[in-house]
Structure 1
Amino acid sequence: MTDEPTKRRFLTVEQAAEELNVKSSLIRGLISSGELRAIQVGGRGLWRIGLQDLEDYIAEAYRRTASHIAAGDLPDDGEQDSQ
């Protein structure tokens, strides 16, 4: 037996939203669009997102962002520099 804490394999929609600091509705939309892999467990509306699937989504988001930066096409999210 080890002293290491047990690592979760899956996150709820709410936990994934908390990880990304977004609303649960955005996570549900990403699942519906196929951008974020998830599985439906049991009854209606019970979704679980694999930790690796969330990490893969984040890595792909970084790749897309780098591509937009390289192309000079970074969308403005409304934040302004405070200088």
Structure 2
Amino acid sequence: MPIEGVSVEPRFLLLSDVAAELNVSDSQVYHMVRSGELPAIKIGGRGQWRVERARLEEYIQRKYDETAEWVRGNPLTERDVE
């Protein structure tokens, strides 16, 4: 029974929801899922893709970690400053 005033986010997201969350196209998310970069499951008779919210959050954290590592390995130089 839902508690009034408390919203519960769904456990699984449509690829279009993931695209909106990441501000990318649906086709980019589809490629991420099909390549295995973003874990997802296929459900139902028509094989619709779903991404678990927890996996999306893990993916986002992994991207933050990868970006931080890249920044450490590629320090800003004078010519990069605009």
Provide TM-score, normalisation by structure 1. Answer: 0.81
1:7 alignment counterpart: 9
1:19 alignment counterpart: 21
What value does the CA root-mean-square deviation take over the aligned residues? Answer: 2.0
Task: Name stretches of at least 5 consecutive residues in structure 1 with no aligned partner.
Answer: 75-80
1:40-55 alignment, distance < 5 Å: 40-55=42-57
Which of the residues 60, 63, 67 maps onto 1:65?
67
CA distance in 1, matches of 2:18, 2:75: 28
Q: Residue 41 of structure 2 aligns to which amino acid in structure 1?
A: I
Across the two proteins, how many residue pairs are aligned to each other? 76
Higher helix share: 2
Provide TM-score, normalisation by structure 2. Answer: 0.82
Deviation at 1:33, TM superposition (A): 1.1
2:33 alignment counterpart: 31
Task: Name stretches of at least 5 consecutive residues in structure 2 with no aligned partner.
Answer: none
Larger radius of gyration: 2
